[in-house]
Amino acid sequence: MAITVRIPTPLRTLTQGKDEVEAAGKTVREIIDDLERHYPGLKDRLCDEKGVRRFVNIYQNEEDIRFLESLDTKVKDGDSISIVPAIAGGR
């Protein structure tokens, strides 16, 4: 099953400039593992030993996976995964 994954600009150097790629898996964790097989280095930018890195947000369709089952969130055909780096700043 192929899932569309949207890649933010800062990570496109790892995906040969592609803003969307396809990955296979039944959970977000499996999707990230498949991405790592095709685009080495991507997993380290998204995850640490505790799970999704603090300043990275991952959405399944429009839902933040932190409010679902995190990396164990199940995915199905037609779903999309969006990787969104958190933005901090201001005064």
Domain extent listing, the chain:
2-85
Note the pTM of the prediction, 2 decimals. 0.92
* Per-residue pLDDT at 87: 77
Q: Distance between terminal CA atoms of the chain? A: 45
Is residue 35 within 8 Å of residue 23, measured between CB atoms?
A: yes
Read off the pLDDT of residues 26-41 as tens digits, 9 standing for 90 and up: 999 999 999 999 999 9
Helices (H), 9-67: 28-38, 42-46
Alpha-carbon distance of 75 to 27, in angstroms, equals: 5
* Per-residue pLDDT at 18: 98
CATH topology of domain 2-85: Ubiquitin-like (UB roll) (3.10.20)
Alpha-carbon distance of 91 to 12, in angstroms, equals: 29
Q: Tell me the pLDDT of the chain (91 aa) as tens digits.
A: 689 999 999 999 999 999 999 999 999 999 999 999 999 999 999 999 999 999 999 999 999 999 999 999 999 999 999 999 987 666 6
